Structure 1
């Protein structure tokens, strides 16, 4: 229901045409497709849930940090992990480097560095630096990120928006990308096998696997 409401808002705002909105709603009715299993949190790292609404937020992974630290918002212990909430303001969160951040962002701008990113962004813009894991759904927003993926399964689903992914030296993965309404462009050191609206390429031996699907938007890949 939230997805449909946001799509209608995007039509009113002129972001989507009525025809594009109908196409996107039809895809939403199809339901999720099976994907590769997502990577698991690294041993020894706590899982941190981040709930951001109408906020500007920075999340930074730091080496040698044992427990998360926050400025602005509210950070609470939750079971074996943590939950951090920030709404309609500024926030800064420091977490152990490589920890999984489970993000629920609505109408927010979020910058993340040196963490593994998981979750959902609705009407949000995300920037990532040296992300070591990805399991993310974006609806009505954009993602620009550099990644260092070496093992495990990773996923990206963009319902309406654009994604720019740059893979850092040392990445070792098989990438499968599919774009329904838009374009996929790949540059760099790939060993590619491409087709209309799709791209399949290797970096290294392909130990990690990333599946990227874009319903409406553009996908840029650089290695």
Structure 2
């Protein structure tokens, strides 16, 4: 519901056209059906940031999340970490835990987590991300990824992304690019629908519109 509301807001703000919004809503429905079928774990933390500086660390052996700065509270079965303009915060969560991002005009550093959600006008740096299901509009993403199983996604609109796949990543990379530049370097082999690293056990589908995408393994 929150994702659908944000898509409608972006149409009203002129960021998306009605046609693009319909495409996104269709993608959202497909992903929700996929999550229901696969029984994916719900986010441990919902991170909401606007004009903020945030660092998220996945820490091995940590029992429960803790945070410094911003607002941090229980939300349903998970937690909410919210930061506003000019605020700085840091969040520690168990390594590999899912984080759902809702961010605008913020700078974020994340390591050893599974990242999902949406970011608008943000700069993101990821270190050893263990999962990715992100929509990035008018921002920058520089990330090292460690993907070995499951389905993942990245939607780019007027954005720049540099993705480095760390060993022992094993995946099929599917790319749909419109009005975008694409560079693929490293130990990839061509495969039906994209590029394969290893046996292709995980799948990362990237959609890029008016964006720059660089991929390295």
The superposition leaves residues 21-42 of structure 1 with CA deviations (integer Å, 9 ceiling, x where unpaired) of: xxx6375244225467467239
The structure with higher relative contact order (CA 8 Å, sep 6+) is 1
1:4, distance to aligned residue in structure 2 (A) = 4.1
In structure 1, list runs of 5 or more residues that go unmatched: 9-23
**Which residue is equivalent to 1:20?**
none
Question: Aligned ranges for residues 190-201 of structure 1 at < 5 Å?
Answer: 190-193=188-191, 200-201=194-195
1:193, distance to aligned residue in structure 2 (A) = 4.7
RMSD: 2.1
Partner residue of 1:211 out of 199, 205, 213 = 205
TM-score normalised according to structure 2 size: 0.85
**Which residue is equivalent to 1:16?**
none
**Which residue is equivalent to 2:44?**
47
The superposition leaves residues 57-107 of structure 1 with CA deviations (integer Å, 9 ceiling, x where unpaired) of: 000100011111111011111122111111111111111100000010011
1:136, distance to aligned residue in structure 2 (A) = 0.5
**Which residue is equivalent to 2:3?**
none
Question: Aligned ranges for residues 71-220 of structure 1 at < 5 Å?
Answer: 71-88=68-85, 89-193=87-191, 200-220=194-214
**Which residue is equivalent to 1:14?**
none
Alignment length (residue pairs): 201
1:28 aligns with 2:20: yes
**Which residue is equivalent to 1:3?**
10
TM-score normalised according to structure 1 size: 0.83
Structure 2 contact 135–155 (Cα < 8 Å) conserved: yes
